[in-house]
Amino acid sequence: MSLNRLALRIATVLALKGRTHAGEAVFDSRNVTIDELVRDEAVPVISVYTDEDMPGDERQVNLVIECAVSVLEQRDGKEPQLWTPTTDPMLELNLDLLEAEIMDVLREPDNEAADIWRTLAFDIVKTSSQRGVFGVETDQRLAARQLLLSVRLLADTQGETIVAIDRLFGLMERDDYYAAAVPQLRDFANRNTGRHRADVDAARLMIPQSSFKALRVVYGVAGGA
């Protein structure tokens, strides 16, 4: 598991909640039915995904923020489900506004989750916007857009990452949805970020620790860390 990729997605969700005209309708990874949405009425919804992950010295992750105007509808007595209608001028206006709000929110200086987001995603390599709902193929023009941000992430073991993720855990503990997951994530973070840096480098090179230390001596690299 990549802790900082997960943290990037959660920081995005927490940064956006209540800060756009989608209100609290900001979901992590998929649309889920929520009773708070008004049934049979079109409402703005945001879903956040982390898509392609490209490891390396300059690691990139594709963050997908899906903006949709959705309807919570109950059919044949079944549990209500969200669906996305075809677009029209007013729905399109809502999508444009929602997309602009998202980018503004991620730049807000007084938004702690957004500040954590900017720490983790220290460089936005590319931004694009396209029609459609993530994972859905259709010939119709739906009232949905995908905002794709290709960002460079800090390494999991970098000091700034450890501090940022600890701050994020504090925000998650105050969120009803995420709070229960924090103890497990803290345990994972402590076990992985507490390792000696030499252990991390040796593991990345897939060589024994003893061989890694010998190479450092041969090439004149001072210290064991």
- Of the candidate ranges 8-12, 18-22, 53-57, the one whose mean pLDDT is the lowest: 53-57
Give the list of residues 6+ apart from residue 30 with CB closer than 8 angstroms, or none.
47
Q: For residue range 73-114, what is the model confidence (pLDDT) as tens digits?
A: 666 666 666 656 566 667 778 888 999 999 999 999 999 999
What's residue 196's pLDDT? 43
Q: How far is CA 76 from CA 34, 37, 39, 73, 193, in A?
A: 18, 19, 14, 10, 51
Residue 217 pLDDT class (50, 70, 90 cuts)? low
What's residue 35's pLDDT? 46
* 29 vs 48: CA distance, rounded Å: 5
Q: How far is CA 87 from CA 45, 64, 93, in A?
A: 14, 20, 10
- Whole-number mean pLDDT of the chain? 78
Residue 36 pLDDT class (50, 70, 90 cuts)? very low
Domain assignments of the chain as residue spans, ordered by start = 3-193, 196-225
CATH 3.30.70.1700 fits 3-193, yes or no: yes
Q: Structure tokens of 183? A: 């103890």
Q: Structure tokens of 225? A: 């860390």
Is residue 36 a contact partner of residue 24, using CB atoms and an 8 Å limit? Answer: yes
